[in-house]
Structure 1
């Protein structure tokens, strides 16, 4: 189901998860960017086409434009192609991005305008690069064209706008930077779910570039708005998590309005203002005091422009409220938050080795639905582990009680030590382990998360353990003495009958344990064929134990009559219905309390 568990304890923790903090891009969305809108020189352009095929046009009022007649647009597209480390290559007969999907979308848009990357890279030789860092939220490249150097820069609107003092107008001339107007247009695009990327440029006389070289004085070129639609199955997966009592939160580096819009589309629930989900930015989060951070983390569903250290702070805040937190991450800087989270989830495709090493679980498809699937599997694994324990404890308890009862009563042992060893060895493997193959019960994602400090054996399960142990003791000890005292059976025959009581009653109780709360029939009588293979093989070995001469000699048993089998099976049926009655009483009392 596309989830690799790196640490086995994480399987148990998954069943207790109460909050999932997920990245947006690629996890909740398709991670297949397509530029839809461009703003340059005060003009707005539409982009047609879909995916990474360079088929489509740059449009203004539904008419294709010639970029040579739009200098600001040309410079913007040029920046997107040159300040870029990704590539579009053919894989399995389809074009796919090698690198960052956002950069892939920029390359495709420039190709739609007629740019050729190889020609541009010959014309604009790259001299140096400032790679993207989450702390700075931009990337810059230095290029030489003939005798002059030029810097192209792309990043978040906040990071780029803070460094600009001028902007290009429609004629390609510099003018005063209209910061407020730029933010207004950006907010409109983000409110429509577009991911906005800003671009800037400046000249340089240096042959290398550092952060201090691009701190101020840049010329704003415009921005490109791209769509990254939510994955088809994510909305259903989020709804299932919420139904299971798990809160889903989005933590992203995107614009707050973009994050809020996508969050609403996939059904996240949290604090709202004016009918819109509140998206708290990293800047706002940095102003929240330690005393208030837990309240903010719990009530807010969307966090935008968040840095890695703020992710760590959010995890700690949620854990302070006794939440079991699952956190996704892919970068090197995400490692502390992944390590701190109760379940650190790394991306298998885009994730770095550092993130994977810090994680408890790796998603091989980077898809949120795999997290929901892993929670389902985690709950099922814990259920089956509990079923095995609830099955094995009373069966072992009864074996000890049978010997103890004989000692206290001063009577002959109903089963010898070697016969008890036979029962233990065969039933544990052939009966108990088959519960590990039990499929997921209906409604496993309709119940609240298990309390992380809740013991495996709850009070009700302890009561059942004592009930079943007592029933096994009564049936085994009672039928042993009935065969010995009233049917005239030999000691060997009576002990063979007693051992068979253990096997048959444990087989019936195994069917009880297929569901700890409900009858197992609704889940499908043959949904776990391993149960019946195990019971069949166990009965075959028990027949050999009772009737094969070499087994009689080895274990000190003797063949038993058909009527003995009838009494043993009848005892098994009675015990099965007593346990089902106990389940019914518990369900009834629980529903009355609810």
Structure 2
């Protein structure tokens, strides 16, 4: 028999073997009022926070050594060894110094990334609803203590190990812990000692997900003492996440390594066969290998992604999966919820319709301050029985609370239910008979029902669903009369056209004593409550920005079609309105066309969301889908980018999403798309800028070996370029602001390679300029009487200055950005000045001349170096102008009909 030991040393049965009352007594809790606030604080002090043990991480020494684990670094280390064997100890030391410097930069960046990850984990920690001193309150899950009484609701994550005290059709997905794919129904009855973990139906375990129903439960274990803590010590450990882009770059690095080694071996062989000394050819092969390796590429990719993710966090978007950063730039359709995303999710009941009258409700927000008016005159609720019954039903069929907090009123629960509590409070209705049984709201039912001690059943839900349950309705005097279905439907549609969300309320008595809510009786319609949820101030601008960027926005909501259409019109969504029944009736082969035409989808079930996503994807769209509910998870997973709501979203939705919005605002999705495009642009800009230097260096060395002359540049000088120019000028790309027209461009075709043909042509153009300028000046200067050291110094400065001017070409792929680039990114100007300063130091400082075998050059040489750099800038700008898409081409862009992968 499984036992546990109390602090006193007395052995007791495990919580699942004991009754709820016994468990509460053993833990000093209360199944009704919970713990007191002082007692909870004292227990938290004793037991510590409800967190898992910190995972074991690699030590700093191991993390530093792993910085050398790269094919490109292996080539550099081999080059250092060969150089040392050949007797060039200074060159070998410089090569080794560059490798160590790169390792230090990578080590520092990894430490920064771990800190950023810890900050993101802290931002996404879950909350828990507990009852303390008899009052429900929301606290961080880390503050839970054994004995706490926790409220469980569909969509939430179980925050600790719990003993179920009460269940209203409570079901929990325990697959993460037990592997069982089907949700498990929970009830408070004790089970035997032989029950394995998956059969303990009276327990809820930390980390599992509530998929249906509600309930209360007592905390039995927290932190490391939970089942999750015992078997999953490595939860939360940061692992290296590879994205499609980083995988492409890793493959590129491996291919480059193989190509460089092959080319170096070939040049060595050619030189030896031509009769040149083997030691000299080995030096040339080392120079070629060192020069062609893009050492800074992996570091800049990592830094750029890190800065991009950090910028997204500042704009209220947390990226849970790094591939989302890249996919955001290709998004062609955003499917978004209405409530809380396009609107503020601050519901206020403005109209109550009952007994043939329309009552106005004044006041805004959740403060219970306002009046009920009929034709502009205050009403006595007691003299209007239909009004009182409708408001009472809204309070009875409700799980929300409003509590005073300072000068404001705070909502605990769903905003829609909070609005109903507030409207009842404005009429002085603040209590109903205790609830006996609850049928929770479910999207497939579209209603919620409660049974109370006075024997009355209350129902609230969508108008069409509640009307289907009713035979009668209240008249002006509160008496029952036959239901006028068409008139009520017409009224609901009229209210919906005003942008109001409409709910219907009904009541009745069970068909037989003890029947409960298993079979609802014939009901009487009490009335309607219509509430206003204003659009977010930035929603219309964000929708407009998306459409300008070639991104379609489609609003999906469970609201009535009239309400959805009205809100859509307010935020600029024009197009057909399609309802859930329309989707259900539409054949699969016709659905993609229908979905393409529609902009607003109303009365849509979560299952239909999944069908919508698949229909759009069949048209080769890249979909970002928002969601907050349990049943949204399949659609979030199916979409290319799943976006969960950080405030209103359930933990199930967050677990399924790629991105979480901390403010639940549609404008943050548009901002994330903008940042995603910017991150990708900056990576491409850096690659297009850096590769010509590596290709040009390789071509210069190969040309020298083929013609049999002196090497124009030595390995140590190549490393100087890579250590200075690439580092000083490359890092500003990570901080480069996005182009002003980034949201005026069409989405990026995900089938396109990282480097398109026009960009590849530009890389080859600059490589050819570097080859011609450097190789040509090297021989011209020698013919004019310059020493070998001076000629090599000129070659180094040709590469450095050309990379400097080419940097300004790459700040925009289509437009000139010379002075404007410095103004918008001060790091570019700082990098340019720093490069000029260190190149002057390299050229004229005696100790640098000794270390890098450089030599001072005259003003004429600088003029020729500058001419090559300026010519490169002018030619690239001319190529950009000739290949720039016209405004007409951009305006008339259409997404491709098919993407090939």
* TM-score bracket, shorter-length normalisation: over 0.9
- Aligned partners of 2:609, 2:727: CA distance in 1, in Å? 46
How has the CA–CA distance of structure 1 residues 203 and 590 changed in structure 2, closer, same or farther, with 3 Å as cutoff? closer
The 10-residue stretch of structure 1 (499-508 or 456-465) with the greater mean CA deviation from structure 2 = 456-465
**Residue in 1 aligned with 2:633?**
335
| Post-superposition offset of 1:209 | 4.0
Equivalent residue of 1:560, what SS? coil
| Post-superposition offset of 1:588 | 7.7
How has the CA–CA distance of structure 1 residues 10 and 67 changed in structure 2, closer, same or farther, with 3 Å as cutoff? same
Equivalent residue of 1:59, what SS? strand
**Residue in 1 aligned with 2:458?**
152
**Residue in 1 aligned with 2:434?**
125
Q: Deviations over 1:354-409 (max 9, x none)?
A: 11111111111100111111111111111111111110111211011110111112
1:534 aligns with 2:837: no
**Residue in 1 aligned with 2:809?**
512
**Residue in 2 aligned with 1:180?**
486
**Residue in 2 aligned with 1:587?**
884
How has the CA–CA distance of structure 1 residues 576 and 144 changed in structure 2, closer, same or farther, with 3 Å as cutoff? same
**Residue in 2 aligned with 1:274?**
none
**Residue in 2 aligned with 1:570?**
867
Tell me which of 492, 513, 538 is aligned to 1:233.
538
Equivalent residue of 1:131, what SS? strand
- Aligned partners of 1:208, 1:31: CA distance in 2, in Å? 37
Q: Please give the residue correspondences for 1:117-266 in structure 2 after superposition, counting only pairs within 5 Å.
A: 117=430, 120-121=431-432, 124-145=433-454, 149-204=455-510, 209-210=516-517, 212-214=518-520, 216-266=521-571
1:108 aligns with 2:422: yes
Give the CA RMSD over aligned residues.
1.9
Equivalent residue of 1:398, what SS? helix
- Aligned partners of 2:685, 2:770: CA distance in 1, in Å? 18
- Aligned partners of 1:390, 1:254: CA distance in 2, in Å? 49
How has the CA–CA distance of structure 1 residues 416 and 91 changed in structure 2, closer, same or farther, with 3 Å as cutoff? farther
Tell me which of 30, 37, 44 is aligned to 2:351.
37
| Post-superposition offset of 1:584 | 1.9
Q: Deviations over 1:391-442 (max 9, x none)?
A: 0111211011110111112111111122212212322221122112111212
| Post-superposition offset of 1:579 | 1.3
| Post-superposition offset of 1:554 | 2.7
**Residue in 1 aligned with 2:687?**
389
Q: Please give the residue correspondences for 1:360-371 in structure 2 after superposition, counting only pairs within 5 Å.
A: 360-371=658-669
TM-score (norm. length: structure 2): 0.62
Equivalent residue of 2:330, what SS? coil
How has the CA–CA distance of structure 1 residues 185 and 483 changed in structure 2, closer, same or farther, with 3 Å as cutoff? same
| Post-superposition offset of 1:295 | 1.1
| Post-superposition offset of 1:540 | 2.8
Tell me which of 339, 344, 355 is aligned to 2:642.
344
Q: Deviations over 1:477-523 (max 9, x none)?
A: 1222222221x222122112211111111011011111110001585
- Aligned partners of 2:645, 2:777: CA distance in 1, in Å? 59
Q: Deviations over 1:307-343 (max 9, x none)?
A: 1111001000000000111100001111110011011
| Post-superposition offset of 1:208 | 7.8
User: Contact (CA 8 Å) 2:822, 2:828: kept in 1 or not?
Assistant: no
- Aligned partners of 2:666, 2:407: CA distance in 1, in Å? 27
User: Contact (CA 8 Å) 2:808, 2:818: kept in 1 or not?
Assistant: no
- Aligned partners of 2:516, 2:843: CA distance in 1, in Å? 87
Q: Please give the residue correspondences for 1:378-457 in structure 2 after superposition, counting only pairs within 5 Å.
A: 378-457=676-755
How has the CA–CA distance of structure 1 residues 93 and 409 changed in structure 2, closer, same or farther, with 3 Å as cutoff? farther
Equivalent residue of 1:286, what SS? helix
- Aligned partners of 1:554, 1:482: CA distance in 2, in Å? 25
| Post-superposition offset of 1:53 | 2.2
- Aligned partners of 2:407, 2:369: CA distance in 1, in Å? 16
- Aligned partners of 1:92, 1:341: CA distance in 2, in Å? 42
User: Contact (CA 8 Å) 1:545, 1:557: kept in 2 or not?
Assistant: yes
Equivalent residue of 1:84, what SS? coil
- Aligned partners of 1:98, 1:405: CA distance in 2, in Å? 74
**Residue in 2 aligned with 1:286?**
584
- Aligned partners of 1:416, 1:208: CA distance in 2, in Å? 92
User: Contact (CA 8 Å) 1:130, 1:209: kept in 2 or not?
Assistant: no
User: Contact (CA 8 Å) 1:441, 1:523: kept in 2 or not?
Assistant: no
| Post-superposition offset of 1:36 | 1.3
| Post-superposition offset of 1:34 | 1.2
| Post-superposition offset of 1:551 | 2.9
The 10-residue stretch of structure 1 (438-447 or 256-265) with the greater mean CA deviation from structure 2 = 438-447
Equivalent residue of 1:362, what SS? strand
- Aligned partners of 1:231, 1:399: CA distance in 2, in Å? 55
- Aligned partners of 2:434, 2:887: CA distance in 1, in Å? 73
- Aligned partners of 2:834, 2:401: CA distance in 1, in Å? 59
User: Contact (CA 8 Å) 2:319, 2:325: kept in 1 or not?
Assistant: yes
| Post-superposition offset of 1:21 | 0.5
Equivalent residue of 1:535, what SS? helix
**Residue in 2 aligned with 1:87?**
401
User: Contact (CA 8 Å) 1:331, 1:352: kept in 2 or not?
Assistant: yes
The 10-residue stretch of structure 1 (73-82 or 489-498) with the greater mean CA deviation from structure 2 = 489-498
| Post-superposition offset of 1:559 | 2.5
How has the CA–CA distance of structure 1 residues 569 and 92 changed in structure 2, closer, same or farther, with 3 Å as cutoff? farther
Q: Deviations over 1:207-232 (max 9, x none)?
A: 6844x322x41111111011111111
How has the CA–CA distance of structure 1 residues 293 and 469 changed in structure 2, closer, same or farther, with 3 Å as cutoff? same
- Aligned partners of 1:584, 1:339: CA distance in 2, in Å? 42
**Residue in 2 aligned with 1:21?**
335
How has the CA–CA distance of structure 1 residues 209 and 537 changed in structure 2, closer, same or farther, with 3 Å as cutoff? farther
1:474 aligns with 2:772: yes
TM-score (norm. length: structure 1): 0.93
User: Contact (CA 8 Å) 1:128, 1:208: kept in 2 or not?
Assistant: no
